[in-house]
Amino acid sequence: MTYSQNIRQNAKHADKSPRKGRSVATRQLLLAEAARRFRRHGYTASSLKDIAAGAGIGAGSLYYYFSSKEELLDEVLEKGCRQIVDFVSQARRQCEAGGGDFRDVFRAMIYAHLYYILYAGDFTAASIRNFSMLPPANQARHRQVFEIYGNVWEGAFEKARQTGELKPELDPAFLQRIIIGALNWAVEWFDTEHYSIHKFADRAADLLLDGMLKPGMSWQGQKAACIPVEPLEAMAARQPKFGKSRLGILIAAARVLRERGYEGVTLRHIGEVAGMEAGSIYYHFSSKEEIIDEVLARGLREIADGVASVLENRDKFPGPVDCIAAAVRTHMLYLFVRNDFVAMNIRIYAQLPQAVQERHRPVRQRLATVWSECLGIIGEAEEFRDNIEVLPTRQLLLGAQNWTALWFKPGRAPAPGNRTVDDLVNMLLVMFLDGIGGERLKGRGDITER
């Protein structure tokens, strides 16, 4: 039985605990329906009335089991986190017990993660897409389970580092966060009807283990250049009074969105954070919707412009590898130097009403298109492995970069344990250009043959 057959068999038997009594069964039906709706429609667009109807009970009866939609989400996230911990842990144990090396184990874990969030686990996918909607105290509680899951990956990485199958200089804790983020991005784009999870898992594993560069080529030890990125504070300081007020409103709106979610934003809240009367906002914007649209679009638009600027100025970079490295560093600087806007888009996009998502789809598509053009350089450069596919590479890279906005806090001063944005950029470039595989894995996998 292959690793993917094992994983699918495990999924069939997941969450089969006995149910005692009608109330327990109904409660489980409500949780399952909530998970399905939170996954497909987002927390904001999922009403308690629809959840109750989907579970086959009256809307008023739902309160016998749950006091609020927030409580439902809290339990969905709890269950989703614990399910994927058990599922991926089992995939790892089975592969190791069967004598698999790190390449086999890594591929099995990637497949298990993708299979569960894309196909088998509404609870886990709902957790990924809706975590930001919980109050900070609830988020802190769920982070404990996230840490347990991270330990599953860290344990595999630490074991591989000891056997020489993982680069010794890589930090397993840092590495697992980036890789899980790259995989989690699949909930935003992967179409299980048109793409093979098995093929994508294989491509992802080999790309991350072996890198994009041919044997004998290496990025390690170099530093990426980039297009200059002006900090948001500096940009605001040089604005005239009207422009400064407008930007202040946008910054305040981003903060309110982060704290209250899309449905919780009012002009009064934005005005309070911006330090102005709500009525004064109308001098700059015609409505709350216009403000939110600008906040959501601005960050991704700036990243797309930044990466496009790298491509337009390729003469400033020595070669194709340096150009792609510059695009990564530019993307990451925009992400963290202007993070109020970019991180907000990434955090709440899944919770936006469908009509709002549709309005912002073009700017997200433009970012994907610009990165496709950037990775198109691979085909014309001899430094890269042959037949690297742009789509899986682009989506993994976008996921790895964008998901960092949800967890990475750049160190403010040089000190042990502090990580800077450039540390993160270097890790990303080593992962994608050189690969994470150690010397014992070299030559044992080839992405051109799959």
Q: Does the structural domain 3-210 have CATH classification 1.10.357.10?
A: yes
Partners of 437 in the β-ladder: 166
What's the CA gap between 254 and 201, in Å, rounded?
35
For residue 444, what are the CA distances in angstroms to 137, 215, 355? 46, 12, 48
Choices 1.10.3720.10, 1.10.357.10, 2.40.10.10, 3.20.10.10: CATH for 232-389: 1.10.357.10
Per-residue confidence (pLDDT) for residue 324, from 0 to 100: 94
Instruction: List the chain residues with pLDDT less than 50.
Output: 13-22, 415-416, 444, 446-450
Domain parsing of the chain, residue ranges: 3-210, 232-389
Which amino acid is it at 261? Answer: G
What's the CA gap between 402 and 307, in Å, rounded?
14
What's the CA gap between 178 and 163, in Å, rounded?
22
In angstroms, how far is the first alpha carbon of the chain from the final one?
20
Give me the torsion for CA of 108, 113, 116, 121, rounded to 10°.
150
For residue 352, what are the CA distances in angstroms to 131, 184, 349, 358? 14, 18, 5, 10
Residues of 284-322 as b/e, b for ≥16 C-beta within 10 angstroms? bbeebeebbebbbbbbbbbbbbbbbbbbeeeeebeebbb
Q: Are 110 and 201 in contact (CB under 8 A)?
A: yes
- Examine domains 3-210 and 232-389 and report if their fold is the same: yes
CA angle 68, 344, 268 (to 5 degrees): 70
Per-residue confidence (pLDDT) for residue 295, from 0 to 100: 87
pTM of this structure: 0.82
Q: How many CB atoms lie within 10 A of CB 260?
A: 13
Per-residue confidence (pLDDT) for residue 126, from 0 to 100: 72
Look-up of token digits 């709440």: 348
Q: Which residues contact 410 (CB under 8 A, 6 or more apart)?
A: 336, 419, 420, 421, 424
Per-residue confidence (pLDDT) for residue 412, from 0 to 100: 55
